[in-house]
């Protein structure tokens, strides 16, 4: 089913530690189902680049691999969710990350009579995440994500999607910051697995395989959860 035939806008959440493949898979789901990917990491990086008040407050926290305050993140997400394109349905990538954020999301969705179709947990081994993150780069023009080993562009240095040669690496993609991000994930975000299990919307998939196999598994879950 595509977004046009869904009765209520779908709300899907991707859970998983840094490097689990949330962004990679969210972009594929966006293309396949016509949904909108909402990455709070991308929204925060845009705020940092634009030097907004929220961006100034978030910059050092992100560089340290810690979580930005719930207040800032919920405000950013609320503004983005209110934009018209989100009526197509959304894939939340990197939000919520605390039980406070999860409660705020429930309240926001309740205002428009919406609920969560599925919270999908990407199960991975922490040890592999440093390799995934340290090889990551992204097209600075269209945002397509790549990996030195696991998802290299067809022509080295050139984006498969838009032809740009403006490739970027993230400032927080170093071993030390990844270690902090993994600690933050286990302490503050992993409890959301139980949170969504208790609400009967949790789905889990093995996310240690290849990108296309995981995409197929995810697509089957999304089809079922939005039917
Ligand atoms: P954010 O941007 O959300 O980063 P993250 O959660 O740390 O996740 P990543 O983007 O690192 O990983 P991913 O799961 O998307 O993996 P990807 O698909 O790129 O957050 C950054 C910071 O912002 C946070 O640390 C925090 O400070 C702040 N923040 C954001 N949201 C917040 C919130 N809600 N509350 C508070 N603070 C917040 O894949 C990684 C690499 O692996 C890529 O190169 C990819 O090509 C490759 N890859 C993907 N899948 C596979 C596979 N199956 N096999 C092999 N390689 C693969």
Sign of CA dihedral 89, 98, 191, 59: positive
Q: What is the pTM of this model?
A: 0.93
Q: Whose CA is nearest to atom 18 of ligand 1?
A: 21
Sequence-ordered alpha helix ranges (H) in 53-143: 53-63, 70-81, 99-111, 126-134
Residue 153 three-state SS: coil
pLDDT value of position 54: 95
- Cα 41–Cα 82–Cα 181 angle in degrees, nearest 5: 15
Rounded-to-10 torsion of CA 55, 111, 195, 225? -100
- C-alpha 31 – ligand 1 centre gap (Å): 19
CA dist 191 → 18, 135, 194 (Å)? 15, 28, 6
Mean pLDDT by 10 residues, the chain (227 residues): 60 97 96 96 96 96 96 96 95 98 96 94 94 93 94 96 96 90 97 98 97 97 94
Sign of CA dihedral 128, 131, 135, 136: positive
Residues with a CB atom less than 6 Å from ligand 1 = 16, 18-24, 39-41, 44, 61-62, 65-68, 73, 94-95, 97, 101, 132-133, 135-136, 145-147, 150-151, 181, 210-211, 214
């Amino acid at each position: 089913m595509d977004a046009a035939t869904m009765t209520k806008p779908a709300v899907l959440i991707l859970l998983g530690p840094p490097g689990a493949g949330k962004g990679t898979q969210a972009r594929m789901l966006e293309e396949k189902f016509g949904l909108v990917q909402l990455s709070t990491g991308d929204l925060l990086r845009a705020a940092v680049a634009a030097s907004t008040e929220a961006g100034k407050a978030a910059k050092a926290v992100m560089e340290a691999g810690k979580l930005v305050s719930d207040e800032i993140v919920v405000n950013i997400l609320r503004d983005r969710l209110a934009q018209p394109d989100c009526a197509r349905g959304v894939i939340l990538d990197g939000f919520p990350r605390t039980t406070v954020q999860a409660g705020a999301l429930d309240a926001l969705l309740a205002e428009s009579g919406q609920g969560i179709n599925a919270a999908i947990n990407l199960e991975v081994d922490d040890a592999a995440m440093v390799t995934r993150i340290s090889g990551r780069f992204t097209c600075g023009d269209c945002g397509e994500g790549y990996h030195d080993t696991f998802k290299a562009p067809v022509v080295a240095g050139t984006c498969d999607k838009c032809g740009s040669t403006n490739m970027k690496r993230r400032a927080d993609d170093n071993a030390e910051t990844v270690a902090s991000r993994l600690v933050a994930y286990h302490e503050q975000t992993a409890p959301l697995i139980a949170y969504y299990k208790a609400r009967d919307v949790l789905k889990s998939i093995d996310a240690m395989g290849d990108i296309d196999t995981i995409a197929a598994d995810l697509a089957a879950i999304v089809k079922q959860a939005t039917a």
